[in-house]
Amino acid sequence: MQKKKKEVRTSVLKKILIFLVFEMVFTAITMPLFVFYGPFTELKKAVVGRGMNSLNHQYIPKFFLSDQAIWRILGDSFAIDPVEAGEEVKVLNFGGKHTDKIEVYNIDGGDFTGKMMVIYDPTKVVIGYSGQMPKAGEVTSAIAKKNRAIAAINAGGFMDVQWSGTGGAPMGFIIHDGKVVYNQLKSEKVRQDTAAFTEEGMLIVGKHSIEQLKKLKIKEGVSFGPPLIVNGKTTIKKGDGGWGKAPRTAIGQRESGEVLFLVIDGRRNGFSGATLRDVQDILLQYKAVNAVNLDGGSSTTMYFGGKVINTPSDALGERAVPTVFMVLPGEGSESK
């Protein structure tokens, strides 16, 4: 009798296991079809937009959809880069600003919270990067402390090799002190989304090749995007930008030269985060004339005064990243 019960139990467990495996396989096959061909427009826009704005994941939407279908889905909610269409970023003549003044403001968007940092000397903003790259990244605060920086935000993205989350394999390029210290594509002619500063401290955004950036005398920079404001004009005219809501990091610059560091928290404490359109609007409110989105999500971090001052979305705290924008040492900071 006991043997029979055992056999019945084993048979039931096998059936449950087979059912679970079937469900997993069925979900893996049907979920992409549900996302790309289903009736949920906003979900479709978010997934397709995120894929198309990623240097390494454009193949995902392109596998399921034609180019015409992709642009039909994104419509004009997608950030359109005028630089890619041939417009040049206008030169800003704000002169040499040398001050240690920094201000930090709280951002309250109702559905999200964040921090805005205003750096009054653009020449103090430089790139910091992991000393373990390309094997592993480091958290933003560690890179900042190592370089004795007074402030920092995470910068470029990275490829998550085997889902390890180590942040060591950067996407695109890294330029520091006028030198190309990393070039993923091995070519200086390919145009890539850019967040970079010239020797005079002007922020350059939009798609540029390393070859073009050298002619512009870029001193510090990484590859990420999309650009949100170019020459005082927004790149997202309608919709939310196509990436959905998430923690965000962005960098901008006023016509008078001040650099804006922005982080938006999300995925914790009842807040989901902000759309790219939200980020664009905040930067406009703070008078940015050029601005670009940086890596967000779990990477979003702002460091100031010896500590992290936002709330990273990862339950473990800061995430390891390959690069940061940081502000070199100075005194006389102000916080509001």
Dihedrals φ, ψ of 24, to 5°?
Answer: -65, -45
Q: How far is CA 19 from CA 16, 29, 274, in A?
A: 5, 15, 39
Q: Which of 212, 256, 242, 237 minimizes the C-alpha distance to 89?
A: 212
Give the C-alpha separation, 202 to 96, whole Å.
11
Predicted local confidence at residue 21, as pLDDT: 78
**pLDDT tens digit string along 234-281?**
999 888 887 888 999 999 999 999 999 999 998 877 778 999 999 999
Assign 78 a pLDDT band (cuts: 50, 70, 90). Answer: confident
**pLDDT tens digit string along 300-323?**
999 999 999 999 988 788 999 999
Every domain of the chain and the residues it spans: 2-75, 102-327
